[in-house]
Chains A and B, each alone.
Chain A
């Protein structure tokens, strides 16, 4: 039982990690919480649903198409809702308003097209569960955990070791100075939004699979990514992953012991506790600027 719980927790945590990193990427580069991220997840999850329903493709091509569309939605959002704010160096407040508006816009699109009903998400696996000795493990958990881990490892590699990753980090530390080093800042910001959108789409499709059903409210789960970011340290990618995995494990264990009614209460209490004790999160930066 313990191993099943652990694996489930890790699987849920890895999906939360996708949400949290997509969120953290934008937070670190533009210093605001992107509230449209949840609606982007919903939109892309529906894209995955319709692609699968329309073509009968297997999981991987559906994921790739959804991620591409999610990335493009991210690009669109940045261009329409945030670019002018960035160009004018306006206050963070405008980003908040703009991202909430953009999120509402996406949600409305979903509601107009699919209505308020719920959809049964396609089952991509011929065997819904795998037996290993005495354990039964959901196939979807294993696949989700595996793919999320691969994607996150690629992301960390890109951020740490490639030119593009260095540009992303430089822009998130100091936009003007990055510009002075010859980095095309707006192109770099667009790349961040594309990656964030693709991660959001992947998370959206996975949440659809994991919950079996898909509704226009799927995006509300973005809150989990937000909690994970707070626990891990806002804007820190590794912190977001760590916080998300912790949250996933915690939630699964809590649901098992106290039921799904009380589990969210406990997770929010933990988040509040974190804000009290360690507001910078687990991976909060200790490096200070020197004059």
Chain B
């Protein structure tokens, strides 16, 4: 479904990604783990069009992805950015409607209903500013906002960042539900244990290069991953 081939990207002279190749199949959760600054977010930003790669290709459903981020969303790729990035001064409902920007009012109404069923807390507080939500609720809102665009592929950047363990579990249950709906998930995480426990396939990114790949279980058992990312 998603095929990234030999992708490189740089910021000025700093190389963020070096010849990265990954693949994700329909309905899978594929995770990318790695330390801070390994290039995880850069990879997602290349796929969603915010960063222009210096070389390499990105194919989605057998086609090259378009250049502009808004055209990429049209193809069915949604990027839920790191740090939630909800529009703090917009109401919760407006945040969701911005997520459904490319769709008609009628389609949005249906999708809103679905999302409010999934996230009752958002319905209760739909008129309030998004900035008044707690961190965990904002993460839910960010994901719900992403779902408003009817995605085929969801790029999730550090959904567990800064959240209490109990909330992290809720977020991960939600990710599993999203996969069960048939949406492919590309999950970027520092929380390697959580990500590897859920995903079908995983890549380890280090200094902009893929150094390991395998199923979640394989990597959970791998000695080098244990040492570097799971704390022994």
Those of B135-162 within 8 Å (CB) of chain A: 135, 138, 145, 149, 162
CA–CA, A182 to B83, complex, Å? 19
Stretch of A18-26, A58-66, A172-180, A202-210 on the interface side:
A172-180
User: How many positions in chain A have a CB within 8 Å of any CB in the partner chain?
Assistant: 23
Q: Are A180 and B98 in contact (CB under 8 A)?
A: no
Identify which of B73, B101, B132 contacts A287 (C-beta below 8 A): B132
Measured CB to CB, the closest approach of chain A to B50, in angstroms, equals 6
A166: chain B residues within 8 A (beta carbon)? 90, 94, 97-98, 101
Those of A130-176 within 8 Å (CB) of chain B: 163, 166-167, 169-170, 173-174, 176
Q: Are B87 and A173 in contact (CB under 8 A)?
A: yes
Which among A174, A177, A181 has the highest number of chain B CB atoms within 10 Å? Answer: A181
Q: B88 within 8 Å of A by Cβ?
A: yes
Q: A191 within 8 Å of B by Cβ?
A: no
Residue of B nearest to A187 (CB): B70
A182: chain B residues within 8 A (beta carbon)? 69-70, 73-74, 101-102, 149
Identify which of A163, A287, A291 contacts B89 (C-beta below 8 A): A287
CA–CA, A178 to B105, complex, Å? 18
Residue of B nearest to A160 (CB): B94
B89: chain A residues within 8 A (beta carbon)? 169, 173, 285, 287
Q: A185 within 8 Å of B by Cβ?
A: yes
Q: Are B98 and A167 in contact (CB under 8 A)?
A: yes
Measured CB to CB, the closest approach of chain B to A78, in angstroms, equals 18
Mask, B185-200, CB within 8 Å of A = 1, is 0000000000000000
Q: Are A174 and B50 in contact (CB under 8 A)?
A: no
Q: Are A180 and B81 in contact (CB under 8 A)?
A: yes
Q: B42 within 8 Å of A by Cβ?
A: no
CA–CA, A178 to B102, complex, Å? 12
Q: B131 within 8 Å of A by Cβ?
A: yes
User: How many positions in chain B have a CB within 8 Å of any CB in the partner chain?
Assistant: 34
CA–CA, A173 to B90, complex, Å? 9
Q: Are B81 and A176 in contact (CB under 8 A)?
A: yes
Q: B184 within 8 Å of A by Cβ?
A: no
B85: chain A residues within 8 A (beta carbon)? 174, 176-177
Q: Are B87 and A177 in contact (CB under 8 A)?
A: yes
CA–CA, A174 to B99, complex, Å? 13
Known: A174-B87, A176-B50. Is A181-B131 also a contact (CB below 8 A)?
A: no
CA–CA, A178 to B145, complex, Å? 11
Identify which of B101, B129, B135 contacts A181 (C-beta below 8 A): B101
A185: chain B residues within 8 A (beta carbon)? 70
Q: Are B69 and A180 in contact (CB under 8 A)?
A: yes
Q: Are B94 and A180 in contact (CB under 8 A)?
A: no
Q: Are B97 and A289 in contact (CB under 8 A)?
A: no
Known: A183-B70, A183-B98. Is A177-B81 also a contact (CB below 8 A)?
A: yes
Measured CB to CB, the closest approach of chain B to A253, in angstroms, equals 34
Known: A176-B50, A289-B131. Is A183-B90 also a contact (CB below 8 A)?
A: no
A-B CB contact pairs (8 Å), 12 listed: A166-B98, A169-B89, A170-B101, A177-B81, A180-B81, A181-B145, A182-B70, A182-B73, A182-B74, A288-B131, A289-B131, A290-B134
Supplied contacts A166-B97, A180-B48, A182-B101, 9 more A-B pairs, CB within 8 Å: A169-B87, A177-B81, A177-B85, A184-B68, A185-B70, A287-B89, A288-B88, A291-B83, A291-B162
